[in-house]
Amino acid sequence: MDDAQAATWHGRVVRFGAAEATSGADTCRSPAYGYRTVPADSFLNAGFRISGSALGLLDSTSRVGLTQVSCGGANWAAPGGQLLWLTENRAYTVWDGVFFELRRQPAVLVSLRRGNVPVPHPTVGS
């Protein structure tokens, strides 16, 4: 995905709820949310070949929250299907090799914005 394509995703809405998760035209009915914390650098290095500093984490021993959305017993293959939380209100999702920053808004609504910043963990589905 190039910069022009990524820019078309800015403002895209992702919603997480107990009955449904939506990301653009993708919908997951009766989603399940798994949450755990992981060592930031080892997770990012193994999965994406970047360090935590690439997302703005200053401490190489930082842990980040990881939410995996499941749909029908399988990982949800949609933007927002996996969330990397740097703070309680900000997360990243990766799609087509691009890290998109998500920001929590009222009603458990987040919008995508291409970003190069850090993310925490939330209580998803509340």
Token pair of 8 as six digits: 């078309």
pLDDT in tens, 52-81: 888 877 676 788 889 999 999 999 999 999
State the average pLDDT for the chain. 79
Above pLDDT 90, what percent of the chain? 25
Helix (H) or strand (E) segment spanning residue 110: strand 109-114
Q: Give the confidence band of 106 by pLDDT, cuts at 50, 70, 90.
A: low
What is the C-alpha to C-alpha distance for residues 126 and 112, in angstroms, rounded to an integer?
A: 19
The answer to whether residue 94 scores a pLDDT higher than 90 is no
Model confidence over 24-42: pLDDT tens digits?
A: 889 999 999 999 999 888 8
Q: What CA–CA distance (Å, rounded) separates 126 from 113?
A: 22
Q: Residue 78: enclosing H or E segment and its boundaries?
A: none
Res. 96: pLDDT tops 60: yes
125 sits in which H/E element:
none
Report, as an integer, the average pLDDT of 78-107.
83
